[in-house]
């Protein structure tokens, strides 16, 4: 009886481990997925994304900006478990704390420097100052941020994701630009309702 119990527990653990290891975009049974309404036969245009051309020769933005190439913008990525984002950081700008629930992020600094960090499930903060040419990984689902602390120079980075649709959950926006009751937020942040309402007012524009 005891040996059967051990076998059953081992099977459960193995199944759970396998499920965790397979979490992410599902495997597809074809070479690629053709969206409904797309005419056949396909050619190279379907597998080409030209949206990043907007960066070529364009002036650097005055506020933090992200240009994405995900399944939403580039349908050929469906089923390929990969996507990109170009992040532009003018001096003193931040990509606020956020998570990507469906993918890890690999950030490559192309220009300038960035202060980056993430918080793990034990509430430990891991930080680093990245220079041009450096790469940093943000583990899947963990809260992280990027900040250009340089007062004079902009920064440019490229992020790769292990999902065609990594998703983004902004911590400030999700908390303070939602319909969560003010009293609940005040209790959660150990402050008063007036303070919560003042913070929320900054997200109402």
Residue 189 carries which DSSP code?
T
Q: Are strands 105-111 and 114-119 parallel, antiparallel or unpaired?
A: unpaired
Mean pLDDT by 10 residues, the chain (205 residues): 43 40 73 85 94 96 97 95 97 97 97 98 98 98 97 97 96 93 95 94 78
**Cα(185)–Cα(111) distance, rounded to whole angstroms?**
38
The two tokens of residue 116 are 């980056």
Residues facing residue 59 across a β-bridge: none
Listed residue (82, 66, 74, 84) closest to 156, CA to CA:
66
pLDDT at residue 41, rounded to an integer: 87
Residue with tokens 């931040």: 94
DSSP 6: H
How many angstroms separate the CA atoms of 46 and 194, rounded? 52
Alpha-carbon torsion (136, 139, 140, 144), positive or negative:
negative
Q: Which residue has the tokens 């005040």?
A: 186
The pLDDT score that the predictor gives to residue 39 is: 75
Long-range contacts of 192-196 (CB under 8 A, 24+ apart): none
Structure tokens at 63: 């506020």
DSSP 17-70: HHHHHT-SSPP-SSSS-PPTT--SS--GGGG---GGGGGTTPPPPSS-EEEEES
Global pTM value: 0.83
Q: pLDDT at position 205, please?
A: 59
CA gyration radius, the chain: 21
């Amino acid at each position: 009886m005891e040996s059967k119990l051990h076998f059953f527990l081992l099977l459960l653990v193995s199944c759970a481990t396998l499920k965790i290891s397979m979490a992410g975009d599902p495997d597809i049974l074809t070479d690629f997925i053709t969206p409904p309404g797309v005419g056949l036969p396909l050619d190279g245009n379907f597998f080409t994304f030209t949206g990043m051309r907007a960066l070529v020769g364009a002036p650097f933005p005055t506020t933090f900006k992200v240009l994405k190439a995900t399944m939403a913008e580039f349908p050929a990525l469906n089923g390929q478990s990969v996507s990109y984002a170009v992040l532009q950081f003018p001096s003193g700008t931040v990509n606020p704390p956020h998570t990507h629930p469906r993918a890890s992020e690999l950030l490559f600094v192309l220009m300038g420097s960035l202060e980056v960090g993430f918080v793990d499930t034990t509430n430990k903060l891991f930080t680093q100052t990245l220079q041009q040419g450096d790469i940093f990984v943000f583990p899947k689902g963990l809260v992280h941020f990027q900040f250009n602390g340089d007062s004079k120079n902009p920064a440019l980075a490229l992020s790769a994701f292990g999902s065609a649709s990594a998703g983004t959950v902004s911590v400030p926006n999700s908390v303070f630009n939602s319909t969560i009751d003010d009293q609940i937020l005040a209790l959660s942040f150990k402050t008063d309702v007036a303070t919560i309402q003042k913070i929320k007012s900054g997200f109402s524009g």
